[in-house]
Amino acid sequence: MGTNYYTKVKKCKSCGHQPGGIHLGKSSGGWKFSFQYNGGQYYKNVEEMKEWLKDKIIVDEYGKNVKHKDFWSMVEQKQKEPLSHAEYVKAEYPLSASEHEHVIDGYSFSDVEFS
């Protein structure tokens, strides 16, 4: 069982428009946090992601708002888990995973949509 996390851009103050959510990744029991790479469109590593997320709302798949501090604390706790999705897929499926699974600064990123 796991929990997916998303972000929403804050509503525009002048018109009230709020763009749709962007998948950030998933927390699963026994695994490091698996980040969604999103083609590198928004961020290319965790430090860029932290900067990019500063003005955005983080929500879990149940629609509950998650404080930035709590999200990053959970991610760091998950780094202590033994399994890495990117490392697992690269080991099991080396030909198909090479361009879709990344370990960046020790963090697992996937460029394949998952839930």
Q: Where are the domains of the chain?
A: 2-110
**At 20, is the pLDDT very low, low, confident or very high (cuts 50, 70, 90)?**
low
Is 70 exceeded by the pLDDT of residue 38? yes
Mind listing the pLDDT tens digit for each residue in 65-110?
999 999 999 999 999 999 998 898 888 877 766 678 889 999 999 9
Residue indicated by tokens 């860029």: 48
Q: What is the pTM of this model?
A: 0.85
Pairing, β 34-36 against β 107-110? parallel
Contact between residue 26 and residue 3 where contact means Cβ atoms under 8 Å apart: yes
| Residue-wise DSSP of 76-107 | HHHTTSSB-HHHHHHHHSHHHHTTTEEEETTE
Instruction: Give the pLDDT score at 74.
Output: 98
Q: Cα separation of 80 and 20, whole Å?
A: 32
Q: If we measure between CA atoms, which residue out of 33, 25, 30 comes closest to residue 58?
A: 25
Mind listing the pLDDT tens digit for each residue in 48-64?
999 999 999 999 999 89
- Total residue count of the chain as it appears in this document: 115
**At 16, is the pLDDT very low, low, confident or very high (cuts 50, 70, 90)?**
low
Instruction: Give the pLDDT score at 40.
Output: 93
Q: Cα separation of 100 and 86, whole Å?
A: 9
